[in-house]
Structure 1
Amino acid sequence: MQGMKYREGVSNRPELTLAQRKRRLVSDELTEAALQLLAIKGFDAVTIDEIVTEAGVSKRTFFRYFASKEDVVVQFLADMGTGIRAELAARPAEEPPSVALLRAVWIPLGECADHGDRALRVVRLILRTPALLARFLERQAQWRDDLAQEVARRQGLEADADFYPVMAAGMALNAFDAVLHRWSAGDGAESPAGLLDRAFAVIAPALDAPTGGRPGLLRDRRR
């Protein structure tokens, strides 16, 4: 089936064996079929029978990969987070934090932009379905922890001891979340790229300020 391939464009994947590539292909087809049906008809209206028919596989095959309809979306979200961290790890060490984090967050948003209305329907599905939104927020908490570890590594800080890594990761993901909400609430005329640039223009000064690991800074400013 031709159409949106949500996992394309994520950098730095390890080489896969033939068997792993076949499994990934089936998983991609199931994910695409499920997400599009769910986005068009609504989460509660779609059955697993409809998904497997659309994907051209058996119900047994579906349950080999996913435990439920919700699990399809959860896996999709997990892959988004993996792509963000992988891209941040691949950014040049000399890049300012705001630039590196913007490029990392752009990975899933860029895929959405590439697929226009179809991706917009999926984003709206996730944000407007309470059960899926809850899982999305749960995943974002994990993304924040993963990103904080990578930010700490890049900055030579301790993720568990310094505030900067977790605060920087949180700001980047808040920008990502704000862009998704603004994009999904509109008519799709404003591009995710433009929205992300605007969001990062707000947080870039804080991300790039040379204040990481300086606990005395606030005290100095109060004097």
Structure 2
Amino acid sequence: MYHARVSTRSDLSLAERKRRLVSDELTEAALQLLALKGFDAVTVDEIVAAAGVSKRTFFRYFASKEDVVVQFLADMGADMRAALADRPAEEPPAEALRHAVRVPVTTCAAHSERALRVVRLILRTPALLARFLERQERWRDELAEELARRVGRDVGSDLYPRLAAGTALAAFHVVLRRWSESDTALDPVALLDEAFDLVSPALDPAPGAR
């Protein structure tokens, strides 16, 4: 479920590339420790030791160990919105949303053992679950804005964009829970496709519907 965010943009400065590299290394070390030992059992000292940086460096990037997970969740949302924006303009909204939500789920499938630990960490830690649900509210608004742009609707006055985005994210959440409960016995991508097959009829609005 987690991965280093490597930018291919040539216009990034050396300083920015270095900053992202350090941030990625800290995130990787923190998530591995938190997932293996539990949120409450890990200290910032252990995280910086695993990442090979100073405590001062850690606090330059994150205010707390909780913020490491929050930033990771923010990156997931950005990935989904970018994927939705990249879908072909003529593609039905349900299919575009399916592909957007599939991005983090595909990462889970590719790194199933590590991803499972992170998913369980988030779902089983009340403080992190609260932040996860809070982030999903932001994702819904961001996906709704992109969806409204795609279908030519007003996100402020039209119910459809937020309802559709919220439904897609509800499917995402249910799939993560079902997958984590299966102990990776189930394929998360197949689960997502099954979920979207169920909800897709409600995601493609009838022409002119309000």
> What are the Cα deviations for residues 35-91 of structure 1, in whole angstroms up to 9, with x where unaligned?
010000000000000000000100010000000000000000000001000110111
Of the candidates 112, 118, 142, which is equivalent to residue 114 of structure 2?
Answer: 118
C-alpha distance in structure 1 between counterparts of 2:4 and 2:187, whole Å? 18
| Local SS of the residue matching 1:92 | coil
Q: In the superposition, relative to structure 1, how do residues 15 and 100 fare at CA in structure 2: closer, same or farther (>3 Å)?
A: farther
Question: What corresponds to 1:183 in structure 2?
Answer: 179
| Local SS of the residue matching 2:183 | coil
| Local SS of the residue matching 1:93 | coil
RMSD: 1.7
> What are the Cα deviations for residues 156-180 of structure 1, in whole angstroms up to 9, with x where unaligned?
0000111110011001100110111
Contact 2:116 2:183 in 1 (8 A): no
C-alpha distance in structure 2 between counterparts of 1:132 and 1:75, whole Å? 12
Question: What corresponds to 1:163 in structure 2?
Answer: 159
Shift of 1:209: 3.8
Question: What corresponds to 1:219 in structure 2?
Answer: none
Of the candidates 72, 77, 94, which is equivalent to residue 76 of structure 1?
Answer: 72
2:59 corresponds to which letter in structure 1? F
C-alpha distance in structure 2 between counterparts of 1:6 and 1:136, whole Å? 19
Of the candidates 19, 36, 41, which is equivalent to residue 15 of structure 2?
Answer: 19
Identity level (%): 68
In the superposition, the TM-score normalised over structure 2's length comes to 0.95
1:214 aligns with 2:209: yes
| Local SS of the residue matching 2:209 | coil
| Local SS of the residue matching 1:150 | helix
Question: What corresponds to 1:94 in structure 2?
Answer: 90
Contact 1:6 1:111 in 2 (8 A): no
Shift of 1:6: 4.4
Contact 1:148 1:169 in 2 (8 A): yes
How many residue pairs match? The answer is: 209
Describe how 1:4-43 pairs up with structure 2 within 5 A: 5-7=3-5, 15-43=11-39
- Larger relative CO (CA 8 A, sep 6+): 1 or 2? 2
C-alpha distance in structure 1 between counterparts of 2:167 and 2:29, whole Å? 33
1:96 corresponds to which letter in structure 2? P
2:20 corresponds to which letter in structure 1? R
1:73 corresponds to which letter in structure 2? V
Contact 2:29 2:51 in 1 (8 A): yes
| Local SS of the residue matching 1:188 | coil
Q: Structure 2 unaligned runs (5+)? A: none
Describe how 1:142-157 pairs up with structure 2 within 5 A: 142-157=138-153
| Local SS of the residue matching 1:132 | helix
2:24 corresponds to which letter in structure 1? D
